[in-house]
Amino acid sequence: MAILSVLLPPAPPLKAKAKPVDKVDDDIRRLIDDMLETMYAAPGIGLAANQVGVLKRVIVLDIARSEEPPTPLALINPEVVWASEETAVFNEGCLSVPEHYADVERPAEVKVRFLDRKGVRQEIHAKGLLSTCIQHEMDHLEGVLFVDHLSALKRNMILRKLSKQRKHQAESAL
């Protein structure tokens, strides 16, 4: 297992569309294990392959609270097969946009079809935080960040602050 580095804007994979996985093999399972380790280390509740520079349709998540037993999930080639009319607003964050949060409105519930780590087709009906997180991760596979759901004004404010923070960090590391 290995902890991978999480990309920040303007890294191109964050803007790219990931390609479907054609075979769920040991390489994919290793990627999943590394992504889970990276997510837990961050710590985060989800991670998409684009964020570690791999353009494959793989996401991992675990929304269990720290005091609860872990419930790692890996979704390969996820597809939304149904979304509720009802929407929900959630204050979202992202490991690729560290320390910035904003409200995003999305369908409240989704049914998602995917392949599990054994390559078996599965379906889940997600609500609440799980629904938000799955949709946030699936956006990453399309090259979309949560800030892309905000007004251009809010998005640019966050992205400018982020690049300033990074510049200061880079300077203080000298």
Q: Quick one: which of 4, 132, 138, 162 contacts ligand GNR (CB under 6 A)?
A: 132
Report in angstroms how near the CB of residue 171 gets to ligand GNR at its nearest.
Answer: 26
Residues carrying an active site annotation: 137
- At position 174, the amino acid (one-letter code) is L
Beta carbons within 10 angstroms of residue 112's beta carbon? 22
According to the binding rule CB under 6 A, does residue 13 interact with ligand GNR? no
> Kindly report the CA angle at 84 between 82 and 86, in degrees rounded to 5?
170
Which of residues 94 and 102 has its CB atom nearest to Ni ion in the complex?
A: 94
Q: Does 94 bind ligand GNR (CB under 6 A)?
A: yes
Cα(78)–Cα(43) distance, integer angstroms: 23
Instruction: Check binding of 34 to ligand GNR (CB under 6 A).
Output: no
- The site for ligand GNR, by CB under 6 A, has a size of 17
| Least distance from ligand GNR to the Cβ atom of residue 82, Å | 21
> What is the Cα–Cα distance from 107 to 102, expressed in whole angstroms?
16
Work out which of 94, 110, 115, 162 binds Ni ion, going by CB under 5 A: 94
Write out the two tokens for 151. Answer: 């007004």
Sign of the Cα pseudo-torsion (33, 36, 42, 43, in order): negative
- Of the listed pieces 7-15, 44-52, 118-126, 162-170, which binds ligand GNR according to CB under 6 A? 44-52
Out of 9, 93, 107, 143, the residue judged to bind ligand GNR by CB under 6 A: 93
Shortest distance, position 120 Cβ to Ni ion, whole Å:
26
Residues found in the chain: 174
Spatial CA neighbour of 75 closest among 27, 37, 36: 36
Query: Contact residues for Ni ion (CB under 5 A)?
Result: 94
